[in-house]
């Protein structure tokens, strides 16, 4: 600080020409003890004090005496440009301040100076305090007795105690782990130690507080690095993830590539580099189009639209490339690409396998559909007899309703044919037609066949359970053939389905609504069965809403001719043999026969006849069975080997039958060894 900054400028002065009277007046006026005396040029020449005045007056000096005669000529002066510190090295209290030309410019007293210093100190202390208080770092100071003398706001936060609680207390009580007392003792600072205080991690710097060489205490400054530590941990985690990602990239069997939004390569797997024949460090940062031919990675990164399993030609080979955009906050920020460039052959084999399986699946789906669709329409029902026409008419009407239908007729009359035709003409024709032969399914399996079961509902139940025929026919028609053979217990369950219109799989928790039309058929007299208690009356009445009685063939011989023509055509196709005529005589025999097996029997007779015909295209009487003509029929000529084998087969069957399937016994009867019997049984599928 310069003297001119703290001096009192423009001081009141006395001139050396002034009288004692004038000097006394000035001293009195300004109530000042002493005044500087200047010459005519304004340069200081001495000091005139009240004390000197009183002394000379007491000695009897004239009041008009000039000041210059009695002033003190010795005075202290300082230059206004000097530093104030020079004043403290001098004994005097008051100084005349001069400029470089020795003109008097001010007065400086030590009291003035102290006042200024005090003010300055106050200002600095206040500022310092404010600074220390607002510092992010915690600051704690102690004195020689380890008592806390300073404790700022951040210290309050980290230590968890208020200033009021800790000031004046021994620091060891507040922070037992502190090393500040050791610093006071040794006078040596400790820098950069990490400490855990409460939930904070801090770096501590400890320093002794010295005045000159004397230690008067110690201060420690804690820098809170909890956030940094968390950030570092986070960074560590990120680094770990990056390391893992890099390792995965290196291990990846296929080519993996990452580009930024503009299509510049940011990552690439070693395997891909090797395949492309490039060096990783050289391609990272390059635009993908410069490194990989036919690439679309930059487009995917730009548009954000993924491309899966695209074919890409690289180095003359087709690769399978998948490109996925990296989306962040809803925007594409780059793309990851994967190229399968090895084992494309393997993939090809796999592809062929899958497509073969797909074809098979399609085939079986078709088969399943065919199995569950109706094959015949009313046009397939041949015959113009009144009896048949009447039933057909009734059946057509029935097809327009959703009511249950019961078809009654002898075996082979065409009951199933009618069921198909009704379904086909109904509004359900686009849905399945499912046939269940109640006589052909063992009783214990019938329930699961009709209603299905849930997985695990019984030992041996298939994984995933099984759908029942009713569910399979949902929307369509279920044809319950041979309904008369349904066990009573099942009849009760069927009745419930008819009433509730819902089915419950075995082992299921709830029932499922179904919309299935029921057509049942039988060649038995259900009415009689009801009377005998073999068929439930309530079920019979439910099924018997619409009844179709198919007349036996013997009651409509006029249909035989049409049926024969139709069947010759059908069978010729089936057997691959062209037979399109029948002799008049043969036809007459057919018309006269009583056909206990109905149309099915007629079909069988014709099939047998066509099989017997060698060269001709006409069925003759000799081609018909004895039961129809009463004549010994023609037998098909077979090779001798065939005849011997047939005889051998029949012989084995007879022997096994006689011996109740006891193989050793049968072998003995046949006079062959047991092993030879087994061999022949294998040969003839016995």
Which residues are at the interface with ligand ATP (CB under 6 A)?
A: 381-383, 409, 411-417, 481, 523, 563, 599-600, 603
State in angstroms the smallest separation of the CB of 590 from ligand ATP. Answer: 15
Nearer to ligand ATP, 298 or 420 (CB): 420
State in angstroms the smallest separation of the CB of 482 from ligand ATP. Answer: 7
Nearer to ligand ATP, 414 or 432 (CB): 414
Nearer to ligand ATP, 36 or 414 (CB): 414
In sequence order, the 6+-apart residues with CB closer than 8 A to the CB of 49 are: 33, 34, 35, 72
Of the CA atoms within 13 Å of residue 189, those in its CB half-sphere come to 12
Q: For 519, phi and psi rounded to 5 degrees?
A: -120, 120
Nearer to ligand ATP, 263 or 412 (CB): 412
State in angstroms the smallest separation of the CB of 374 from ligand ATP. Answer: 12
Nearer to ligand ATP, 77 or 547 (CB): 547
Q: For 644, phi and psi rounded to 5 degrees?
A: -65, -45
Q: For helices 598-612 and 560-575, what crossing angle results, to 10°?
A: 50
Of the CA atoms within 13 Å of residue 324, those in its CB half-sphere come to 9
State in angstroms the smallest separation of the CB of 385 from ligand ATP. Answer: 10
Q: For residue 509, how many other CB atoms are within 10 A of its CB?
A: 7
Name residue, tokens 């404790």: 151
State in angstroms the smallest separation of the CB of 383 from ligand ATP. Answer: 5
Name residue, tokens 């009433």: 499
Distance CA 599, CA 301 (A): 73
Token pair, residue 63, equals 């009041």
Q: For helices 20-30 and 50-58, what crossing angle results, to 10°?
A: 140
Distance CA 605, CA 44 (A): 163
- Residue 309's H or E segment, with its range, is strand 307-314
Of the CA atoms within 13 Å of residue 145, those in its CB half-sphere come to 6
Nearer to ligand ATP, 184 or 599 (CB): 599
Alpha carbon distance, N-terminus to C-terminus of the chain: 130
State in angstroms the smallest separation of the CB of 539 from ligand ATP. Answer: 19
Which residue sits closest to ligand ATP, CB atoms considered?
Answer: 414
Nearer to ligand ATP, 110 or 591 (CB): 591
Contact indicator for 460, 445 with CB cutoff of 8 Å: no
User: Where would I find the H helices in 59-179?
Assistant: 67-70, 85-88, 110-134, 153-159, 163-166, 171-174
Nearer to ligand ATP, 16 or 485 (CB): 485
Nearer to ligand ATP, 525 or 661 (CB): 525
State in angstroms the smallest separation of the CB of 392 from ligand ATP. Answer: 9
Nearer to ligand ATP, 148 or 624 (CB): 624
State in angstroms the smallest separation of the CB of 447 from ligand ATP. Answer: 22
State in angstroms the smallest separation of the CB of 502 from ligand ATP. Answer: 28
State in angstroms the smallest separation of the CB of 522 from ligand ATP. Answer: 8
State in angstroms the smallest separation of the CB of 419 from ligand ATP. Answer: 8
Nearer to ligand ATP, 306 or 557 (CB): 557
User: Where would I find the H helices in 135-225?
Assistant: 153-159, 163-166, 171-174, 180-186
Q: Are strands 190-197 and 200-211 parallel, antiparallel or unpaired?
A: antiparallel
Using alpha carbons, list the distances in angstroms from residue 111 to 11, 98, 515, 517.
16, 19, 116, 123
DSSP for residue 510: S
């Amino acid at each position: 600080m310069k003297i001119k900054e703290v001096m009192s400028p423009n001081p009141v002065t006395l001139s050396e020409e002034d009288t004692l009277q004038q000097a006394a007046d000035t001293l009195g006026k300004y109530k000042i003890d002493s005044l500087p005396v200047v010459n005519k040029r304004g340069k200081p020449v001495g000091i005139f004090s009240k004390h000197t005045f009183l002394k000379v007056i007491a000695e009897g000096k004239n009041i008009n005496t000039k000041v210059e005669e009695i002033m003190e000529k010795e005075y202290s002066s300082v230059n206004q440009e000097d530093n104030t510190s020079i004043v403290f090295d001098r004994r005097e209290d008051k100084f005349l301040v001069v400029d470089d030309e020795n003109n008097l410019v001010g007065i400086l007293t030590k009291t003035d100076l102290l006042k200024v210093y005090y003010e300055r100190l106050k200002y600095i202390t206040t500022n310092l305090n404010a600074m220390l208080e607002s510092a992010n770092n915690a600051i704690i100071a102690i004195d020689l007795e380890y008592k806390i003398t300073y404790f700022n706001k951040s210290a309050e936060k980290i230590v968890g105690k208020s200033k009021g609680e800790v000031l004046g207390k021994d620091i060891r009580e507040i922070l037992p782990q502190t090393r500040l007392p050791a610093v006071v003792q040794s006078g040596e600072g400790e820098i950069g130690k990490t400490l855990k205080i409460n939930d904070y991690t801090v770096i501590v710097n400890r320093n002794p507080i010295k005045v000159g060489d004397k230690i008067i205490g110690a201060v420690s400054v804690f820098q809170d690095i909890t956030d940094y530590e968390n950030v570092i941990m986070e960074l560590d985690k990120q680094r770990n993830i990056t390391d893992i990602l890099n390792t995965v990239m290196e291990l990846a069997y296929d080519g993996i590539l990452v580009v930024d939004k503009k299509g510049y390569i940011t990552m690439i797997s070693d395997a891909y580099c090797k395949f492309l024949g490039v060096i990783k460090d050289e391609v990272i940062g390059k635009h993908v189009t410069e490194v990989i031919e036919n690439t679309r990675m930059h487009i995917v990164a730009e548009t954000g639209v993924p491309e899966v399993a695209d074919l890409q030609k690289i180095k003359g080979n087709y690769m399978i490339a998948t490109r996925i955009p990296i989306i962040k906050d809803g925007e594409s920020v780059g793309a990851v690409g994967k190229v399968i460039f090895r084992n494309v052959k393997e993939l090809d084999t796999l592809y062929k396998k899958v497509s073969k399986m797909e074809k098979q699946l399609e085939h079986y789906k078709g088969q399943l559909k065919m199995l569950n669709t109706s094959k015949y329409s009313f046009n397939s029902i041949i015959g113009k007899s009144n009896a048949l026409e009447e039933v057909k008419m009734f059946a057509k009407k029935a097809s327009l309703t959703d009511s249950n239908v019961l078809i009654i007729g002898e075996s082979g009359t065409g009951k199933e044919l009618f069921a198909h035709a009704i379904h086909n003409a109904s509004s359900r024709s686009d849905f399945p037609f499912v046939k269940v032969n109640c006589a052909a399914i063992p009783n214990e399996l019938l329930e699961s066949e009709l209603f299905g079961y849930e997985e695990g509902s019984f030992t041996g139940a298939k994984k995933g359970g099984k759908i029942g025929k009713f569910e399979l026919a949902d929307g369509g028609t279920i044809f319950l053939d041979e309904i008369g053979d349904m066990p009573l217990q099942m009849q009760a369950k069927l009745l419930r389905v008819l009433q509730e219109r819902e089915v419950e799989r075995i082992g299921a928790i709830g029932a499922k609504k179904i919309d299935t039309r029921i057509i049942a058929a039988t060649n038995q007299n259900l009415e009689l069965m009801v009377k005998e208690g073999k068929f439930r009356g309530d079920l019979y009445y439910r099924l018997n809403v619409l009844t179709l009685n198919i007349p036996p063939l013997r009651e409509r011989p006029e249909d035989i001719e049409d049926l024969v023509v139709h069947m010759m055509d059908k069978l010729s196709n089936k057997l691959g043999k062209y037979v399109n005529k029948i002799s008049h005589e043969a036809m007459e025999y057919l018309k006269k026969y009583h056909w206990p097996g109905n149309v099915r029997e007629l079909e069988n007779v014709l099939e047998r006849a066509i099989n017997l015909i060698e060269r001709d295209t006409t069925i003759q009487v000799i081609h018909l069975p004895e039961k129809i003509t009463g004549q010994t029929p023609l037998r098909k000529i077979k090779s001798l080997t065939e005849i011997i084998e047939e005889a051998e087969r029949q012989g084995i069957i007879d022997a096994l039958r006689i011996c109740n399937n006891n193989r050793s016994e049968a072998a003995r009867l046949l006079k062959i060894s047991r092993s030879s019997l087994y061999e022949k049984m294998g040969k003839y599928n016995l």
